Amino acid sequence: MLCVDPRLTPVARRAAVHLAPRLGTNVALLNALLHEIVRHGWTDPGFIARHTVGFDALCEQVEPCTPRWAAGICDVPAAVIEEAAELLGTADRLLSTVLQGFYQANQATAAAVQVNNLHLIRGMLGRPGAGVLQMNGQPTAENTRECGADGDLPGFRNWQNEDHVADLARVWNVEPSAIPHDGPPTHAMEIFRLAEEGTVRMLWISATNPAVSLPELARIRSVLSREGLFTVVQDLFLTETAQFADVVLPAATWGEKTGTFTNADRTVHLSEKAVDPPGEARPDLDVFLDYAARMGFEDKDGGPLVHWSGPEEAFEAWKRCSAGRPCDYSGLSYAKLRGPSGIQWPCTEHAPDGTDRLYGDGAAWARPDLCETYGKDLVTGEPLGEKRYRSMNPHGKALIRPAPYLRPQEWPDEDHPFQLTTGRTLHHFHTRTKTGRVPRLAAAAPDVWVQIAAADATRLALTEGDLVEVTTRCGALRGRLRIGSVRPGVLFVPFHYGYWDTPGGNAPAPGVPGRAANELIATLWDPVSKQPQFKTAAAALTLVERADDSPGASGRSRST
C-alpha cells in the first residue's frame, strides 16, 4: 500500500510506502511517479493503443519530471518517490482511492486526473482488483452528481450538447429553452459572490452549513447578514447558518424518511423510514413537493411539472430520467432493492441484476455524442467545447490529460512560515450538526486543536496542551496544541468546530480569534471543479498560554 498524506495517519502507518509531500505539490509528485512508470516501461501498450488517446502528450509533459526534480518541490526523498513508483508500476492489480486531500488542494482536478492517467497507462481498469475510486465526501454525494444537484444536468447529460438538453426536455415535458444551458453551471462559491454583490437575492440552503464549512467565514457571515438577501435554511437543527435565516424549515433525518442512497461504487441501497419525524419536521421531498405545488410549476402542456407525490413515485420518475444514460436505474425498483444488500447501476433489462464492473470494453461513454462533458482546461478551467473535444477524441476513447505543476497562490513567507491544512477527526462528521450532539462523540473530541510536528515544537519550545493562536491573511483561531503525526512545517486543524455549542452560541466579533478552521482559509478555488482550496494556506503560530498555566507563563506570547 502507498499512502500520500502530510500526516502520519493510521493508514500511513500501515503503508509499505508513505509519501508526505509539501502541501499543494500533488501534481508534481504524480508527474514524477508517471515519469518513472513511463521510463521503466511499466505500461500496458496494448491497453493504451486500444482504449486511450493522449499518451504521447503525457510522455512529453512528464519527461523532465524526474524524482530528483519532484524531491526539490515536494520535499520528499527522490529514492522514496522511486520506491513508490516501483510499487505502482509493478503491481499485478492496482486500486486507487482519492478524496479531499486532492480535491480541496492546489490544482485539485489536475491532480485527480493524473491518478486516472496512471491507471490508464497501466491498463488497470475494467478487471477484478483494478480501478479508481474517486471518492465522495458525503453519504449521498454520488446521488447529487447523478441527479444534477451540483448544478449539472441530470443523468450525466452534457449541457453543451443540444441533443442531451432536448432529451431532458422530453423527459420533463418542457421546452429546451426552459433548461438553463447557455453557460457553465453556477457553483456555490460564485453563488455567494453574486449574493454579496446583490445579484442573487434569495438563498435556499438545505442540509449544509456554509457558515462553518465555506472559506473565509467572516465574509460568509457578512453575506448571510446582508440586507436584501432572503435566506431559507432547511435542516435538522438550528445550525450556525440557520441563525442567519429569515425562514427555517425543520427537516427529517435519514431514519425518519424513505429514499435511496448510492455508494461511490454505484451500489444503490433502499433506506426505509423507521420512525416518524418529531414535531413539525418533514422529509425534504415533502417540502420540495409542497413548494412546487404552491408555486404552480407547469410543463409545456399546462400540466403539473412535478407529478409524483412520494419517494417511490419520485424514484420511478428518476428511472425514466436515467434510462439510457450511464447511471441507468431503469431495471431497479423498491421491491427489488428490498432483496439483496444493494444493486449496482447500470441496472437495465439487459443487466437486471446490475453491473459489477465498468470499462471492461473501454470508455464507452467518452464518445463525443455521449460524453457528460467536453472537458475543461486543467490550468484555467475554461470549457474546451465540442469542436476541440471532437478533434482530440473523435472515437471516444479514454482521454489522457497531462498537466504542468503550478505553485499554490498561498505559500509560506517570513510572516507566515507554516503551511496550514484542515481535515477530519474520527469522532465527528462535517460541521458536527449531528455528531456534536452525541455525548460520547462530543466527549471524545470536544474542541478544536492545532497539530504540529515534534521537531517544530522543540524548535519553538512549545509543549503538548499549550494554547496557541494560528493566524493567516484571513483570520485567527485559538486551540490547544497537539504534537506529532504531521510533517515539519505543517499545521493541521480539524474543520468540524463551529459555534452553536459555545457560550452564547455566537461567532467571534471581527478581529477576535475563533475556533472554526475556515476562519483561516482564503476565498480560492480550483478553476476546474470550483472546490475551495481548504488544504493549502500560509500561517503563523503564536503561543498564548502555557498548558500548565504556571505563574509567569500565562499570557506570555512568542511569535513563531
We report the CATH number of the domain holding residue 533 as 2.40.40.20
Q: In this structure, are 202 and 290 located in the same domain? A: yes
Sign of the Cα pseudo-torsion (157, 193, 230, 210, in order):
positive
Asked if residue 36 and residue 110 are part of one domain, the reply reads yes
Cβ-Cβ contacts under 8 Å for 46 (sequence gap 6 or more): 123
Residues 109 and 147 in one domain: no
CA nearest 253: which of 242, 233, 270, 237? Answer: 237
DSSP 140: T
Q: Is the pLDDT of residue 174 over 90?
A: yes
* pLDDT tens-digit map of 487-545: 999 999 999 999 999 988 888 988 899 999 999 999 999 999 999 999 999 999 999 99
In a domain? residue 373: no
Give 149-158 pLDDT, tens digit per residue.
Answer: 887 899 999 9
Task: Count CB neighbours of 197 within 10 A.
Answer: 9
pLDDT of residue 557: 39
Q: Give strand pairing partners of 127.
A: 130
* Residue 279 resides in a domain: yes
Residue 130 forms part of a structural domain: yes
Entry pTM: 0.94
- Average pLDDT value for the chain: 94
CA pair distance 194, 190, nearest whole angstrom = 6
pLDDT tens by residue, 262-309 = 998 899 999 999 999 999 999 999 999 999 999 999 999 999 999 899
Q: Name the grid cell of 547.
A: 498548558
* Backbone CA torsion sign across 422, 427, 430, 433: negative
- Taking only the tens place, the pLDDT of each residue in 120-172 is 999 999 999 999 998 887 778 888 899 998 878 999 999 999 999 999 999 99
Residue 164 covered by a domain: no
Q: Check pLDDT > 50 for residue 552.
A: no
* Cis, peptide link before residue 346, omega less than 30° from 0: yes
Position with higher pLDDT, 98 vs 550: 98
CA distance 165 to 327: 17
| 381 in any annotated domain | no
For residue 551, pLDDT beyond 80? no
26-39 vs 108-122: helix axis angle to the nearest 10?
20
346 and 213 housed in the same domain: yes
Asked whether residue 436 is assigned to any structural domain, the reply reads yes
Tell me, yes or no, whether 450 and 507 share the same domain: yes
The cell for 93 is: 492489480
Cα–Cα dist 326/155, whole Å: 7
331, 351 contact by CB (below 8 A): yes
| Helix-, strand-, coil-residue percentages of the chain, each rounded to 5 | 35, 20, 50
Amino acid 65: pLDDT: 98
Cα–Cα distance measured from residue 246 to residue 204, given in angstroms and rounded to the nearest whole number: 10
Structure-block grid coordinates of residue 6: 502530510
216: containing domain = 141-151+186-263+267-357
The CA-atom distances, in angstroms, between 297 and each of 172, 177, 312, 319, 322 are 12, 16, 21, 21, 22
CB 337 within 8 A of CB 188: no
Question: Do both 146 and 100 map to the same domain?
Answer: no
Same domain, 278 and 227: yes
CATH of the domain at 118: 3.40.228.10
> Cell triple for residue 558?
512568542
Task: Give all strands (DSSP E) within 282-425, no chain letters.
Answer: 343-344, 398-399, 418-423
Nearest to 534 by CA among 543, 522, 544, 546: 522
- Total domains in the chain come to 3
Judge if 104 and 145 occupy the same domain.
no
255 shares its domain with 333: yes
* 184 CB-side CA count, 13 A: 18
Within a domain: residue 173?
no
Spatial contact of 232 and 245, defined as CB atoms under 8 Å apart: yes
Secondary structure (DSSP) of 412-430: --SS--EEEEEE--TT--T
Per the domain annotation, does 371 fall within a domain?
A: no
The CATH number linked to 329 is 3.40.50.740
